Structure 1
Amino acid sequence: MSDTPPPAPVEIKHRFPCASCGADYRYDPGGDRLICDHCGDVAGIETGGPWQGGIRELDFAAALRDQLPAQEMEETRVTTCTSCGAQVELGTDTHATECPFCASPVVTDTGTHRHIKPRALLPFSLDEEQARKAMTDWLGRLWFAPNGLQNYARKGRKMQGIYVPYWTFDADTKSQYRGERGTVYYETRTVTRNGKRQQIQVAKVRWRAVSGRVARFFDDVLVLASTALPKRYTDALEPWDLSALVPYAPEYLAGFRAEGYSVDLEQGFAQARDKMDAIIARDVRFDIGGDRQRIHDIDTEVRDTTFKHILLPVWLAAYRFRGRTYRFVVNARTGRVLGERPWSAWKIAVAVVIGAAVAGGIGYLVALEQGGF
């Protein structure tokens, strides 16, 4: 093996000048094409659409040894938000901006982030107008949200289209377990209730030691590789249509931002193992059978682990309203919306008054009926 280090990956610039006027193309959500907003010129993307050959996985063990091929690595210019920790990829001409995740002002630095290159992504399907409608419809269903926030959101600034980083893991697992199978049976007992003797059935469990093996192949265990958004938001945006993944091409990022991963590969696999272990435990309980199960020990062998770094699309809105920041996330494939729920004090007060009035009216009618009036 040569001691000569591989050449350093070059910085990737996601800029695509229009062939007609020189302005920047942007990716057209749902259109699988690039479009120039200045002159209307359109260009195709050769790699568009699901790749029939599948997305090639990378070897997990090789990545931990830092032995991935040089072409699987890249360097991008990023800035780290001091408020939420997001690492957002930026263009070379951007020096000051606002964090799309929490609306805090940030000043860019000159640092670069050397990371594993994305293998695949899900392109945006919803454009900004569709995402904004989904968000305002969701806000409109929150009766206790302040009207001012709803109006501000409808007329607010542009939403941010962001590709959020994820890991997916494949692994072949074989597990040996020890436990107990419980069989429910009933005993008849005589008890005294209200001065009367009665016979009742009391459930008992008879336990028997068992052991066995289960096996499962895990495909595309999905793990969020970002800490910028609350996990409860991103988890609730699932499921993602991972069967529609396309091979990574920078054209899909034209006009959008991409966040660099802040959860490294080893941390991501630890989270994936938690998910796998929960499913393996469920398999073990099914294999034990019976009416009840106890698991004493599970020893799992994990083999042939592979992974992908992928990007999934979301529309973000971060609004500062009356001194507070409210964040909303829209799944850019399905339109599902999650966000921080604001409350309107006067709406809650009105609801309490109405509720008390209704309860009082019902109580009055009941009293009239009982009094014979």
Structure 2
Amino acid sequence: MSRPSETDDDAPDQPSDEGHHFPCPSCGADLRFEPTRGALHCDFCGHEEELAPDPAPQAIRELDFEAALSNRIPQMELEVARTHRCPNCGAEVTFDTARTAMECPFCATPVVTDPDPHQQIRPRALLPFALTEDQARRDMTAWLGGLWFAPNGLRRFARKGRRMSGVYLPYWTFDARTRSAYRGQRGRVHRTRRRGADGKTRTDMTIRWTRVSGTVARDFDDVLALASPTLPGKTVDAIEPWDLSALVPYSADYLAGFGAESYRIGVEDGHRIARGKMDAVIARDVRLDIGGDRQRIDRIDTEIADVTFKHILLPLWIAAYTYRGRTFRVVINGHNGRVTGERPYSPWKIAFAVLVAVIVAGVFAYFSNG
């Protein structure tokens, strides 16, 4: 048995406000998406449902950015999301409608408020979870075990720790065509050798600058912009890259058993983030085009056209754990297993390392002076 895809072109011209519920047809328990099988699975009776085949690749359509700025997004591209807002970190997460007791996946704070309905741009695609919770926990345990100056009991504590949370993080992706005219200077390094008054040969270096100008062009595809401030940018950057070639058209079936955070950074602000990444690439292209040994960029004027975007969801496993009265958070890329996060330090190990360093330095100084 398979469920219909939610990316049909015949979708009603009204925003959807239905919650996501996945009852097992055999026993009534909740189904969940099983990453290793790529299907919906019931943990109670073992029933499985295959997901509907992905539509043609062109089903992952981009939306026009200018239309979004002027509020001309078609109603069929909007939905009413019912999110639960965390009173601690502010994350807005959508859970299965069958769940009555909820916990924020980002900070483990109980979420007891009623769902807050609000209209938003619906996701066009997502990257399904490829790692199970057990696989993510093994990756986390290995990461914790490899940390320098970590307390001895940390890995054992984490292995026996609380349940991990699987959640989809919201992103924007942007496509654009750019053409950039620049003015700058090309530097050529010239070296001359001369003999000094002391008889030693020295090399003098001078740079001769030439004014240059030119044009570079680049087409950008799927430039990522994080659409949530819940996690620090350096944290999510550390678990990149994301394999966006594995994106599939959005279907709520992939969310069975997982949470999904709603975006809190709008498409216009997301475009500013993506534009910063584009500008950095354009500046690199300009330097390559200038050539020479050194480059100076005086000015870049970029024309940008055909800007399109889409809202996508990317998978994370998150463990928020408490160790000796302090809370730490570890984040695992749910597709490739890369791990990053916060960690405690052992003051005894640090003190011992400092003591050893002082002893080694003292021994070295003793023999050097001797």
TM-score by length of 1: 0.90
Q: Displacement, 1:108?
A: 1.7
Asked if residue 113 in structure 1 is aligned to residue 115 in structure 2, the reply is no
Asked if residue 35 in structure 1 is aligned to residue 37 in structure 2, the reply is no
- Seen in structure 2, the aligned counterparts of structure 1 residues 354 and 201 have a Cα distance that, compared at 3 Å, is closer
Asked if residue 24 in structure 1 is aligned to residue 38 in structure 2, the reply is no
Cα separation, 2, equivalents of 1:199 and 1:356: 41
- Which has the larger Rg? 1
Q: Which residue pairs with 2:83 in the alignment?
A: 78
Query: 2:21 is matched by which residue type in structure 1?
Result: R
Q: Secondary structure at the match of 1:20?
A: coil
Decide whether the 8 Å contact of 1:119 with 1:308 is kept in 2.
yes
Cα separation, 1, equivalents of 2:128 and 2:56: 13
Cα separation, 1, equivalents of 2:322 and 2:103: 12
Query: 2:173 is matched by which residue type in structure 1?
Result: T
Query: 1:76 is matched by which residue type in structure 2?
Result: A
Q: Secondary structure at the match of 1:147?
A: coil
Out of 13, 19, 23, the residue aligned to residue 13 of structure 1 is 19
- Seen in structure 2, the aligned counterparts of structure 1 residues 238 and 110 have a Cα distance that, compared at 3 Å, is closer
Q: Secondary structure at the match of 2:280?
A: helix
Out of 217, 223, 226, the residue aligned to residue 224 of structure 1 is 226
Decide whether the 8 Å contact of 1:77 with 1:92 is kept in 2.
no
Decide whether the 8 Å contact of 2:14 with 2:76 is kept in 1.
no
Q: Which residue pairs with 1:3 in the alignment?
A: none
Asked if residue 183 in structure 1 is aligned to residue 188 in structure 2, the reply is yes
TM-score by length of 2: 0.90
Decide whether the 8 Å contact of 1:85 with 1:227 is kept in 2.
no
Taking only aligned residues, the RMSD between alpha carbons, in angstroms, comes to: 2.2
Q: Displacement, 1:201?
A: 3.1
Question: Where does the alignment leave 5 or more consecutive residues of structure 2 unmatched?
Answer: 1-11
Cα separation, 2, equivalents of 1:202 and 1:9: 70
Q: Displacement, 1:22?
A: 1.4
Q: Which residue pairs with 1:298 in the alignment?
A: 300
Q: Displacement, 1:96?
A: 5.5
Q: Displacement, 1:15?
A: 1.1
Q: Displacement, 1:357?
A: 4.3
- 1:78-137 CA distance string (max 9 Å, x none): 122233221111344656533211223333234213111000011101100000010011
Out of 209, 231, 253, the residue aligned to residue 207 of structure 1 is 209
After TM superposition, the structure 1 = structure 2 runs for residues 185-334 of structure 1, keeping only pairs within 5 Å, are 185-187=190-192, 191-192=196-197, 196-198=198-200, 200-334=202-336
Q: Displacement, 1:338?
A: 0.3
Q: Which residue pairs with 2:349 in the alignment?
A: 347
Cα separation, 1, equivalents of 2:263 and 2:286: 34
Out of 35, 46, 50, the residue aligned to residue 52 of structure 2 is 46
Cα separation, 2, equivalents of 1:191 and 1:88: 72
Decide whether the 8 Å contact of 2:186 with 2:293 is kept in 1.
yes
Cα separation, 1, equivalents of 2:53 and 2:88: 37
Query: 1:103 is matched by which residue type in structure 2?
Result: A
Cα separation, 2, equivalents of 1:110 and 1:309: 21
- Seen in structure 2, the aligned counterparts of structure 1 residues 126 and 211 have a Cα distance that, compared at 3 Å, is same
Decide whether the 8 Å contact of 2:95 with 2:258 is kept in 1.
no
Decide whether the 8 Å contact of 1:47 with 1:249 is kept in 2.
no
Asked if residue 149 in structure 1 is aligned to residue 154 in structure 2, the reply is yes
Q: Secondary structure at the match of 1:168?
A: strand
Decide whether the 8 Å contact of 2:171 with 2:227 is kept in 1.
yes
Cα separation, 2, equivalents of 1:356 and 1:190: 45
